Amino acid sequence: MLVELLIVACLLKEPARCEEFHVPFVDQMNVVQCMWQSTIHAAEWAANHPEWRIKRIRCEHPRA
């Protein structure tokens, strides 16, 4: 079953502006596996998006 990481992040320059980012995993995994790997993937995402500050992360099934 497909699962993706949902990252809610806010702009550092404009903290009231927050957005959701859907980060798909390359491999299929379940929600428990996603949670185990979520901090690693969130850290990688944050390193590639230094203008954003992560507020919340969670695993969910992709929306249709």
What's the confidence (pLDDT) of residue 1? 59
Q: Which long-range contacts (CB under 8 A, 24 or more apart) does 38-47 make?
A: 38/5, 41/5, 42/5, 42/7, 45/5, 45/7, 45/21, 46/9
Take residue 46 and report the two structure tokens written for it: 């944050």
* Phi and psi, residue 8, nearest 5°: -105, 120
Q: What is the pLDDT of residues 4-37, one digit of tens each?
A: 899 999 999 999 999 999 988 777 778 888 888 8
Task: Please spell the DSSP secondary structure of 42-64, one letter per residue.
Answer: HHHHHHH-TTEEEEEEEEEPPP-
Q: What is the pLDDT of residues 45-60, one digit of tens each?
A: 999 999 999 999 999 8
What's the confidence (pLDDT) of residue 27? 73
pLDDT band (50, 70, 90) for residue 64? low
* pTM score of the predicted model: 0.85
Question: Could you tell me the residue ranges of all domains in the chain?
Answer: 4-60
What's the confidence (pLDDT) of residue 25? 75
Residue 45 to residue 62: CA distance in whole angstroms = 18
